[in-house]
Amino acid sequence: YKRQDAGHPEAPYDLGVIYQQQGDREQAVYWYTKAADAGYSDAMTGLMQVLDQEQLLDWLKKAVVARNPLASDFLAKLRESGS
């Protein structure tokens, strides 16, 4: 994936998805983080699936700021449940 070096955050995101599907959490986190750091909100929600609770909340808040609707809904449900 040469696009990941050319400013296309969807490329490292796609790699994160592949690694997650293969069960390689470490590589999924690496690639999702690269895409999330570039502002790709889908990668932020991808990270939510593979991180521990503290890390998850940090990325969840970043995804909400990036206006990701899935993250906004999830955060609202967490608040409703008192988590």
pLDDT per residue, tens digit, the chain (83 aa), is 444 455 678 899 999 999 999 999 999 999 999 999 988 989 988 988 898 888 888 888 888 898 888 888 888 888 888 76
CA distances from 5 to 20, 35, 43 (A): 21, 11, 16
State pTM to two decimals: 0.69
Distance, first Cα to last Cα, the chain: 38
Q: Using an 8 Å Cβ cutoff, are 24 and 43 in contact? A: no
